[in-house]
Every structure is written in C-alpha cells, then in structure tokens.
A and B are shown apart, each in its own frame.
Chain A
Amino acid sequence: GQSLEQPSEVTAVEGAIVQINCTYQTSGFYGLSWYQQHDGGAPTFLSYNALDGLEETGRFSSFLSRSDSYGYLLLQELQMKDSASYFCAVLKAAGNKLTFGGGTRVLVKP
C-alpha cells in the first residue's frame, strides 16, 4: 500500500517558525510536493523536491531525505494569511498522479 503521514494540526503565533513533517511509504517515488489550500479554495503549488536537500522559496522551504522517506515544509516569519491547510504529496512518476497526505491545518494567531 501507500501512505503519507503528516500532523493534523499546528498552531503558532505570527512571526514564528513552523515545521510540518511528512513521512511517506509508496510503491514508487519521483518527488515530494507541497500544496497550500485555504478554506474553500483551490490547492496551490508551493514546492517540489526530487533530490535530497533543502529548497528555499522566500519564507517557505522544503526538505527531502529519500533514504528516510521523509520531508518537511518550513514556514518562516509566519503571517496571518498563512493560516491554511498544507498537504504533502508524492509524485510517483513524471507526469503521473499525485498521492496526497491527510493535510496539516496551520492556525496562525496574533
């Protein structure tokens, strides 16, 4: 089978740093993606890691360790608008479908 595990909810204050971990077990692996979804909205792409290491995109960074089947999304300098659900997703092959984790709801408080 295949599974992606991530925490269900995280609460933090503005300006803080949040790390959302994702462990995966899949029958194929090409890369790990992260998507953000605000309530009632569409998921939007945040980052993609195919190789081990850290990818930095502004306040958000994503990390992957293929040997550990593990990745994380790091949200820095949290802002109120970052309150949303964050999903890790495994891409099993180029151009192929995504398998999503259960999502982590991040609540940013003043």
Chain B
Amino acid sequence: GAVVSQHPSRVICKSGTSVKIECRSLDFQATTMFWYRQFPKKSLMLMATSNEGSKATYEQGVEKDKFLINHASLTLSTLTVTSAHPEDSSFYICSASFVGNYNEQFFGPGTRLTVL
C-alpha cells in the first residue's frame, strides 16, 4: 500500500513553455503533499508543502509564480513550471503523507524535466 505515482516520468520542452507534473496517491488519501527538487547527486530540496483545498506554502527562495502548485483533491497535486528555462531542468519529486502516519512520507518516482 501507500503508492504515489507521478506523470510524466520524463519531459523535454522548449524554453518558454509551461510544463505540468501530476502527483497522485493511488491507494490512500494524502492530507499533505510535498514537492521537492533534486539535482544530480545532491539532496532533496523542499520547494513547497500543499494541503488539499488550501494554498501551498513555499520555501524561502522558491518563486510561487514560477512554480504553481494546485492540490485539488486528497489524491492529486499538480506542479506547473511556468515559462520554463534551462536552469529549471532538474528532477522533481513529490511525496505524500496521511493522517495517522505523519512520520513517513511516501515518494513518487520523480519527473525528469529537461528544458532546451
């Protein structure tokens, strides 16, 4: 149980376009979802925390107008990278937690974004 999926797994886009990444909890209701960014051989950097039905809380230094997060239901959160540029190329990972098991986060498989 506690499976999180992400779609797409890999995306290549042109500079200036917007890209939407979906994160779904498949077999549980995620009260909180998190979005991370990870550079090669580096740690996971938290970008934002989102709770269903409310605005996301962004970490310091993360542009909320650049990285739009929507958490429309207890099983779906989306991250939209707007007007993507090559420096936005990275591995984006989501995770989810649920009531009664807050101490563990369940991670999606990640999305590799390449901006040309």
Contact = CB atoms under 8 A, between A and B. Distances in A.
Interface of A: 31, 33, 35, 40-45, 48, 50, 85, 87, 91, 94-103, 105
Contact of B46 (A44, A87, A98): A98
Given A42-B109, A42-B110, A97-B49, A91 B44 contact: no
B67 interface: no
Interface of B: 4, 31-32, 34, 41-46, 49, 93, 95, 97, 102-110
A41 B41 CA distance: 12
Given A87-B43, A99-B46, A50 B93 contact: no
B42 A103 contact: yes
Contacts of B49: 96-97
B107 A100 contact: no
A42 B110 CA distance: 6
19 contacts: A31-B103, A33-B104, A40-B110, A42-B110, A43-B93, A45-B106, A87-B43, A91-B102, A94-B103, A95-B31, A95-B32, A96-B102, A97-B49, A98-B34, A100-B43, A100-B44, A101-B43, A102-B43, A103-B42
Contacts of B107: 35, 42-44
Nearest to A102: B43
A85 B4 CA distance: 20
A43 B44 contact: yes
A25 B99 CA distance: 27
B102 A95 contact: yes
